[in-house]
Amino acid sequence: MNTDAKIVQRSIVGKGIAHDSAARHVAGEANYIDDMPELPGTLHAAFVLSPVAHGRLNSFDATEALAMEGVAGVWSAKDVPGHNEVGPIHTGETLFAEDIVDHEGRVIAVVAANDFETAYRAAKKVKLDIEPLEAVLDIEDAHRRKNYVVPVQEVVDGDVDTALADAPHVFSGKLKMGGQDHFYLETHIAYAIPGENGEMLVHSSTQHPTEVQHHVAGILGIHANAVECQVRRMGGGFGGKESQPTIIAGAAALIAAKTGKPCKMRLKRRDDMAGTGKRHDFVVNWKVGVDERGRILGLDAEYLARAGNLPDLTGPVITRALTHTDNSYHIPHARFVGHACKTNTVSNTAFRGFGGPQGIITIEAIIDTIARELKLEPNAVRAVNYYGDETGDTTPYGQKVDDNRLVEVTDAVLASADWQQRRAEIDAHNAANPVIRRGLAMMPVKFGISFNLTSLNQAGALVHVYLDGSIFLNHGGTEMGQGLFVKVAQVVAEVFQVELDMVRISSTATGKVPNTSATAASTGSDLNGMAAFKAATAIKARLTRVAAEHFDVEEEVIIYREGRVHADNRSVSFGELAKMAWAKRVQLSEAGHYATPKIHWDGKTMKGRPFFYFSYGAAVAEVAIDTLTGETRCLRADILQDVGSPLNPAIDLGQIEGAFVQGMGWVTCEELWWDKAGRLRTVGPSTYKIPGSRDVPPIFNVRILDNMPNREETVFRSKAIGEPPLMLGISIWLAIRDAIASIAGSVPQLDSPATPEAVLRSVREAKGRLKDS
């Protein structure tokens, strides 16, 4: 299907148009669920949460809570009329704990009251009888005990053991990388409104309305057709609202069904951080064999991922980590193994990048180590390992890299960042300044676009054309601030060649477009944009036949331009043509459906073509570190990102900047910390540090790769943008390593995040090496 057909000149797609809610965002006029007018009798809910990491739930006593004025009731597992299940993949992942509580913050019951504060206080009044059990909190401890939530996964290609045995040089190492809280501005929230005949309308802050719909139906013991989930917008998601919202929506819907009253449930920041999943922290042990140039001959990497108490999405996250361990480099002999370690902490979940960052930081640390051990320039080691004619073009999982833009992107960013000059200046600075050290690093990213599970790569859209020429648009994607809605609206406006304000963007609703996939994996525009394109194109084909008949010309003569439909020197407005079509009883509505072609994946052999295409990018980062305090600062960042032919370059630039800063937070300042009892202590902005405006590099150069349309047939030849730039933030961590390496000329011992404490420990270790030498 040619997405350029019958469009003479693009007038809307490719323009930098503001986010459809931008003005309302800054004016405080964009409505979120908590801004919705509450219906009379609305109840408010709060969870009763486990205060311990592991224990046997013998009983709980809600007498004192129920005696409080305004409390409507307390519900737990025994009150669920249907299935006490909320797992996105596996069964046994319950809404309410039944016999065992297995992490601090585990949901035991829910309290409803006339107002939120009363519900919250009442939840604290519920007395819990929990018999303490031993808690496993450490990933490596869980691995030693063989405590896993899903079976081991392996990507194997070639003969790794022989490659390592025959390699001229063999290096090994261990890297620990921390997790990350999503810290969306809007915490989890749902508003459930009961209807007649058992129907339930759920407004949910979710990236996956269909999953909320199905789980609410399961909890209530009704069919999915009795539940509608709607989402106008979220105040951020980042993956944290993919599987987790079913917990909040399920509880609110249960109360609404039990009481016959609307119920709103929203989490306080502390409860949101303690009780919902995060990015997986990993430990990876690796061994690599290389030749004299640093060319990788074989790599053996074993990942230990903190799954937490339940599987959630850990299995697919590990899959993506394993399929991104190669990043941009051909590895002829590979063995990548991933273990999903069960710990008594909250189950980790999706987060922007979805395992990709963990795989990519691993191989980048390995490349950096190879270079420093062999006394080579890191970029030279990268270059000799890039996918290409000299090395190879097939990944360890069997997909051919046939749209390679690595050399083009990396050469361009090195040139625009004045690498050679700045490298010399930084080396001179470090030779004369023992306290404030500077570092410089470049890294590329090759990121696969598509869900690993092939069946998820589909989307639907609904388009109506009304008699005044205005257009109604609905699709399965959700808006969380990333600009998906305006991009898809641009696609529809482009097809009909009308002004963008003629396209009405509507809330995502399972009653309009069913069986949707999550807005995740950077596929939102690819899937929903193409579905909307197909729907609009089908209507346009019918309109074109009407226009051709009206003007008595061949269909090929008809041209759509600037809100009018032309045949040579004659024309009618788009609205007039819609009226003509209606008068002729022509259908002006269409449901479009799109399924990504070419992809396939075998989860048993871990082979196939899981990704429709790759997105490429590169970044150069410069940092300064204080060797006395461990403090760091990114002084400059230069980014070049491949987005194909962008649907909206302004939105894309914003996504690149935001993703980079979020990635920077993951590798520098965002640290999750549990005490010895398994209680998360970083549960708010006072203890959990996300990047602020002063952390953004003062020199921040972001560019989009020009004139490089996607080789695959995506909507208007665009490429995904949501996740790939996050990995470029790893360049800051590499630059910190470079600064530390300048002290003793050795491989820095630095885990992630590079907090001031971690940097100071690494600096002291480097100074110790220097002294010993």
Question: Residue 417 in 3-state DSSP?
Answer: coil
Instruction: Catalytic residue, from 186, 228, 712, 723: name it.
Output: 723
Residues pairing with 621 in the sheet: 441, 637
How far is Cα 493 from Cα 501, in angstroms, rounded to an integer?
9
Residue 354 near residue 277, CB atoms below 8 Å = no
Tokens 């690498």 sit at which residue? 419
- Burial class (CB within 10 angstroms; exposed 0-12, middle 13-18, buried 19+) of 746: middle
CA-only gyration radius of the chain, Å: 27
Dihedrals phi, psi of 467, to nearest 5 degrees: -70, -15
How far is Cα 530 from Cα 289, in angstroms, rounded to an integer?
44
Residue 601 near residue 617, CB atoms below 8 Å = no
Q: Residue 697 has which token pair?
A: 């590099």
- Burial class (CB within 10 angstroms; exposed 0-12, middle 13-18, buried 19+) of 236: middle
* Beta strand residue intervals within 466-511, DSSP E: 471-475, 503-505, 508-509
Catalytic site includes residue 117? no
Estimate the crossing angle of helix 756-772 against helix 730-744, to 10 degrees. Answer: 30
Residue 204 near residue 231, CB atoms below 8 Å = yes
Q: Which residues contact 446 (CB under 8 A, 6 or more apart)?
A: 326, 327, 328, 387, 401, 406, 614, 615, 616
How far is Cα 619 from Cα 641, in angstroms, rounded to an integer?
9
How far is Cα 637 from Cα 634, in angstroms, rounded to an integer?
7
Tokens 């969870």 sit at which residue? 47
Residue 420 near residue 596, CB atoms below 8 Å = no
**CA neighbor of 411 nearest in space, from 656, 616, 654:** 616
Which ranges of 632-755 would DSSP assign to H, the alpha helix? 649-668, 730-744
Residue 66 near residue 270, CB atoms below 8 Å = no
* 434 residue type, one letter: P
Using alpha carbons only, give the angle 478, 479, 480 rounded to the nearest 5 degrees.
115
**CA neighbor of 126 nearest in space, from 82, 75, 169:** 75
Catalytic residues: 723
